[in-house]
Chain A
Amino acid sequence: MTLEAAYSDIGRLDRLSYLDTAVHRLDPRAKVIATMLFVVAVVSFPRYEVLSLLPFFLFPLLVGAFGDIPAGFIARKVAAVSPFAVFVGMFNPLLDPGIVAVSPGFSVSAGWVSFASILVKFALTVSAALLLIATTSFPGICRGLRRLGFPALFVSQLLFLYRYLFVLVEEAIRVVRARDMRSFGRRGTGARVFVRIVGTLFLRTVERAERIYGAMLARGFRGEGPSMRPETLRPADAVFVLSSAAWFALCRFVPVPQAIGRLVRGLAG
């Protein structure tokens, strides 16, 4: 991913998070908790489980649909960050050659099953995290974290980081563009140039921080970011958390696909 593309991706997620839908209106804490429960439930499946994971797709699909998040955008992002999981998992088929029978006359090696399981879990957990961000503004998440008991200093650190991310990435884009033009498109420049780039970026950053700090003092900063609105959990938030949790628990403990499959086969005769 080029610098510009990565930058436009964060920008797009940020813009999506300011939409106004039922999902966006939920309390950030409710969404953080539901997403955490989702991730833990998905990851807790044994490594040869694939089918029982499929019902979990309902959660990201519904959050995405109700939140008006473009599915293709999320899917592309999931694919873009998959290499590490694929790399670590792709040896499973080679190293775990035990045979699992799928049906009479057809069998696959156990490694393929566990590889598929890793990929499904990866798609589920990554899309859930991206949807959390796409449906919750970052300051909202920070307020939620603060109320969930994270230290104030860490939360204001997150807020400041986010606040200046865009400014500094633009600065970096400018510096890198200058490098590319001077090096006639040869991208990989040596360590010496890289040091200069990072050093320059650092000094510009510090200078900016000094100006920012002066401006903040002028506006009455006293060491902690004030919160504008007191948030309370509404019934909708409770319904969201409880129904998600119930659905995750059901899917975790009851093999839903197998049950439906038996039902369908029963109906078919």
Chain B
Amino acid sequence: MHMADALLSPAVGGTFWAGTAATIGYASKRLKQGIDDRKIPLMGVLGAFIFASQMINFTIPGTGSSGHLGGGMILAILLGPHAAFLVMASVLTVQGLFFADGGLLALGCNVWNLGIYPCYVAYPLVYRPLAGDGSSPRRIFAASLVGAVGALQLGALSVALQTHLSGKSELPFGSFLLLMQPIHLAIGIVEGLVTAGVVSFVRALRPEILDASAARGSIPASASLRTVLVGFIALAAVTGGALSWFASAHPDGLEWSIERITGKAELQEREHGVSAALKELQEKTAILPDYGFRTPEAEAGKPEETPSWPSVDAGSTVSGLVGGILVLAMAMLVGWAVRALRRRRAG
């Protein structure tokens, strides 16, 4: 469920970049306070571990499709949320760069979707209360399952929201959700089972690894509550802002189509509270904020104009096509020429 750059608008990508970057800074600061040096290489190696285990696909029973581990939940249970978040962020960065799973702009969204939900929502709010002190295998099992499913559902919802807010895909939000949620429910169940299995496996063979992380989690009780609150506020700010944006724009099919005709410009003016603050943040952080908003405006008149298009100026379209093909051909020619010249010089 990695987002791709091509499906994002700069405003959405920039917002999630800002949220993710702030969380990385926060997690680094929190970790630095009480870190034992030993943990730094362990985190690095565990990043490689998640990377390696994500490459092993498992089949999803009954569907014929396959999924792979997200790993955020396992890491949060074994390392605590801050270290787990940094490890997830680093894994996704390397994936984005080497496998083009997602891209540079989409990195913010991907770390958000696959890192924040398991580490800062599902782990402290779902796993810890359910698992208790971690002494009962049954409770660990239930907590892992619920936590992993919850985290993945939030992630899938988030992907659909980000795609929708970017406005590049025509896929209606509802249908996209209907495609995303069930398959991620299946993946989440498998992930939950695997998480529970790995935690019990590790507990049986090397119990001190788990005890260390449980102890870390329980010492600063107030601090972990603050973590939860900060995570929750951040989550509320983004999803609240995004959801209200979405909700005000498309509560039903009728308004959906009205929005398609009039554009989002007026709806944005109606925003206030969280979403206004979010927008302000966006304008400060997004590198080219105007474009994200210009897009819907530029498209606003489109459906009405369409019938009159043929008479507008067919000539300019032809110019565009001719020019476009020429430009592409020239670019390829330049690239090829550089390559050929370099070969000749080298050889």
Contact = CB atoms under 8 A, between A and B. Distances in A.
Interface of A: 3, 6-7, 9-10, 13, 35-37, 39-48, 50-52, 54-55, 57-58, 61-62, 64-66, 68, 71, 77-78, 81, 84-85, 88-89, 91-92, 94-96, 98-104, 107, 110-111, 114, 117-119, 121-122, 125-126, 128-130, 132-133, 138, 141, 150-154, 156-165, 167-169, 171-172, 176, 187-189, 191-192, 194-199, 201-203, 205-206, 208-210, 212-213, 216, 221-223, 255-265
Contacts of A158: 90, 93-94
B344 interface: no
Contact of B41 (A13, A167, A212, A255): A212
Interface in B72-87: 74, 78, 86-87
B327 A260 contact: yes
A198 B53 contact: yes
B169 interface: yes
Given A39-B104, A103-B314, A65 B342 contact: yes
A44 B10 contact: yes
B55 A169 contact: yes
Contacts of A157: 40, 43-44, 47, 86-87, 89-90
A40 B324 contact: no
A92 B37 CA distance: 51
Given A92-B169, A209-B42, 13 more contacts: A6-B55, A51-B321, A61-B334, A81-B100, A99-B306, A119-B6, A128-B104, A132-B104, A197-B56, A198-B56, A206-B45, A261-B323, A261-B326
Contacts of A64: 335
Contact of B310 (A13, A42, A101, A197): A101
Contacts of A202: 46, 49, 53, 74, 78, 198, 201-202
Which of B37, B53, B306, B342 has its CB near the most chain A CB atoms (within 10 A)?
Answer: B53
Interface string B4-47: 11111110010000000000110011011001011011111111
A39 B288 CA distance: 11
B132 interface: no
Nearest to A127: B100
Interface residue range, chain B: 35 or more
B197 A195 contact: yes
A64 B163 CA distance: 30
Contacts of B326: 257, 260-261, 264
A44 B9 CA distance: 6
Chain B residues touching A, majority SS: helix
A45 B298 CA distance: 10
Contacts of A66: 338, 342
A58 B47 CA distance: 35
B6 A163 contact: no
A191 B310 contact: no
Interface stretch (B146-154, B229-237, B266-274, B289-297): B289-297
Nearest to A221: B37
Given A6-B99, A88-B169, A164 B44 contact: yes
Pick from A10, A114, A176, A257 the residue with the most CB of B within 10 Å. Answer: A257
A102 B101 contact: no
A101 B51 contact: no
B201 A196 contact: yes
Contacts of A171: 52
A19 to B, nearest CB: 11
Contacts of A50: 324
A118 B323 contact: no
Given A62-B338, A153-B28, A257-B320, A3 B331 contact: no
B282 to A, nearest CB: 13
A78 B100 CA distance: 8
Contacts of B58: 188-189, 191, 194
Contacts of A154: 24, 28, 86, 89-90
Given A141-B97, A205-B45, A213 B4 contact: no
27 contacts: A40-B13, A40-B288, A46-B295, A46-B298, A55-B327, A62-B334, A65-B342, A84-B4, A88-B176, A102-B317, A119-B6, A121-B5, A125-B103, A125-B104, A126-B4, A138-B94, A151-B25, A172-B55, A188-B58, A188-B59, A189-B58, A191-B194, A202-B198, A205-B46, A206-B42, A260-B326, A260-B327
